[in-house]
Structure 1
Amino acid sequence: MSLAVSPAARAALADWLSSLKSLRGASPATIAAYQRDVVDYLSFMAEHQGGPQGIAALGEVGTSDMRAWMARERASGLGARSLARKLSAVKTFYRWLAEREGLEVTPVLSARAPKYQRSLPRPLPEDAARAMIGAVGSQDERAWVAARDAAVMTLLYGCGLRISEALSLTADDLPLGDTLRITGKGGKERIVPVIAPARTAVQAYLDILPHPMESGTPVFRAIRGGPLSARTVQKSMEQARMALGLPASATPHAMRHSFATHLLSAGGDLRAIQDLLGHASLSTTQVYTAVDTARLMEVYDAAHPRARAKS
């Protein structure tokens, strides 16, 4: 940790990160990102104020100090999205400090994040999602490998799983029933329905898997029997998308996006989709309404007589 950070601030930061891990179940990657962002901020404030800042000094940070920090970050080439993420980490730390130390932190919490254009998920059309499952399930000469890849794709698209969630399934989750208990980001558990084609695809793979399936072992296996890596799945999709002429956005995560978008298009309830995806906030799920609207406008522009006349 930077020497510009005072011992008191360093101890407070460590306690805060520990609380995030124990109380909120934050992942190691999230903890590391928060630590990096807040240390960068504390280091700037030490330089800006002429020395390491103790807890009391951190409570005296004003609006002009926050503006100076954000201006320095932008001048260093940090994008609006990344700065918004850093500011969110700093605010979360200050809220914790306010509760613990009784600091007045309004100037920090009132700092406004820069606006940025939030990128929309890029789902596959329904026929392309089905074609992807078929393609990955036929491109390897080893029948069990082809069946494995098809089973993984079917879980991503049919159940809306993250690739890490699919690959974390173990023999203890078998045989797949009508529902599956998934532990997602932050240790948050959710129950997802398992459609019949997903159960069938997984069972077809298990029926010809050449490696033993014992308690605690991963369901999806690499060639030599170890855990299947996400990179192997990505490479399989890369090969399939090139054969199908699909864009580079056709990734494993795009299958999860497709699951959500196609459910919404079919009249699915947004709250239910939020639960199925394991999103902590409804605002994260609401991005799919924008995807659906954008696609609707594309269809409108292509098909409506007046739209065609304008072009």
Structure 2
Amino acid sequence: MGSISAYQTTSGKRYRAMFRKPDHAQTQKHGFKTKREAELFLASVEIDKSRGAYIDPSKSRVLVGEWLDAWMDGRTDWRATSRERARGIVALHIKPSLGGYPLGSLTHVAVQAWAGGLSKTQSPSSVRKIVNVLSRSLQMAVKDGRLPANPAHGLNLPKVGKLSKRYLTHDEVRDLADAVDSLGKGMYRGERNNYGLMVKVLAYCGLRWGEASGLRVQDIDFVRGRLEVQHTIVEVDGVQLDSQPKDYEARSIPVPASILADLKFHVEGKEGGLPAFAAARGGWLRGRVFRRGWLDDAASMIGQDGLTPHELRHTAASLAISAGANVKAVQRMLGHASAAVTLDVYSDLFESDLDAVSAALEDAIVRSARSISQNKSASIPLPE
């Protein structure tokens, strides 16, 4: 169990506990006022070692800010946008308040107080995203033997209210596309760049902005009538990067025949590797440029102020479901990881399905009752 020795200080006698860590390296902890305190400490060390729960104090002295940097550097699985988002959260919201804490000194109470402070300036969903970054880094510290438990687990966080989504109708999509085409002058005119057609592609095919920007001419399969999502353009520190979508996001999307015909005319004569919808001066079209130059004003013209490209993706889900598409088809079109994700995001669009279920059940009840009645009538013998 180790050994205990006494030593003198200016404040009186103190005790030192000597013991071996799980790797058999000898270490010590001093400053105990009584021998009993030192004995209890040695006993707790032995219990932790036997349970595999021993935490090396030297490993838990690293500062939270330093650990966050090391954790982010080790996340080689992250995409560039995920890394940029995490670094922004760490720099703005975690390091200023918690970065100077040693890992071993970070308590559940301290983390709860920090999370509570975030609620004063951040939305509930933002608070949860920020806390999630800290929690994931601390969970890695637990796995690395630096913490006995994650102090960010089980926090009391603000509930996220369900936000209503905006869905455009077929007429509104058409009007928006026409408005986009009418804006701009010369080489920047929407019609010249066919940005109105891009609006229709977003609203009927459900591409994310990076996927639409990264769509190449060769990604349009006119034989099968599909868009092959194989690239996505991400922007990191103002630099556009050509990236590949996640496995479940790479997909083949059916295109309505009228839009496919317009696309064929639009890309005729263009090289396969060029963007299907390029910036006016060439290259990948940036989302903020499209919004500032065409979409924002066009949305105001049709009474949909503040409309975003992502809301056109919501519109694609709405129009597909209203046309009779089931949840699995919508999942594949949108590139969600699972149908459960689609149901969570667009549960409001499937409300009418509940009415259809009750109507189908009622129909079954009526048909069953009619069948029983007919069978009874057939079994009654006719009078001679």
Q: TM-score, normalised by structure 2?
A: 0.61
Is 1:161 the counterpart of 2:219? The answer is no
Note closer, same or farther for the CA distance 1:117–1:130 as it changes in structure 2 (3 Å cut).
Answer: same
Show the 5 A alignment for 1:189-268.
189-195=249-255, 196-207=257-268, 213-214=270-271, 216-234=273-291, 235-244=293-302, 246-268=303-325
Unaligned runs of 5+ in 2: 1-60, 235-243, 356-384
| 1:274 maps to 2:331 | yes
Matched, 1:98 2:142: yes
Deviation at 1:160, TM superposition (A): 0.3
Name which of 109, 131, 136 aligns with 2:175: 131
- Tell me if structure 2 keeps the 8 A contact 1:171–1:218: yes
Q: What's the offset of the Cα at 1:232?
A: 4.2
**Contact map agreement 2:184 2:294 (CA 8 A) in 1:** no
Instruction: Give 1:122 shift.
Output: 0.9
Higher helix share: 1
Which stretch has the larger CA shift, 36-45 or 158-167? Answer: 36-45
Distance, in Å, in 2 between the alignment partners of 1:187 and 1:205 is 25
| CA drift at 1:161 | 0.6
Matched-pair contact (CA < 8 Å) for 1:26–1:187: no
- Provide TM-score, normalisation by structure 1: 0.73
Larger RCO: Structure 1 or Structure 2 (Cα < 8 Å, ≥ 6 residues apart)? 1
The equivalent residue for 1:49 is none
Which structure shows the bigger proportion of residues in strand conformation?
2
Q: Among 43, 64, 71, which residue is 1:16 paired with?
A: 71
In structure 2, the CA distance between the partners of 1:239 and 1:61, relative to structure 1 (3 Å rule), is: closer
Tell me the distance in 2 between the aligned counterparts of 1:142 and 1:197: 27
Alpha-carbon RMSD across the aligned residues, in angstroms, is 3.4
- The question of whether the paired residues in 1 share the 8 Å contact of 2:206 and 2:316 is answered with yes
Letter matched to residue 207 of structure 2: L
Instruction: Name the amino acid aligned to 2:116.
Output: A
Structure 2 letter corresponding to 1:155: V
Unaligned runs of 5+ in 1: 1-5, 47-51, 298-311
**Conserved in 2, the CA contact under 8 Å of 1:91 and 1:109?**
yes
Q: Aligned-pair distance for 1:114?
A: 1.0
Question: 1:156 & 1:65 partners in 2: Cα distance?
Answer: 45
What is aligned with 1:306? none
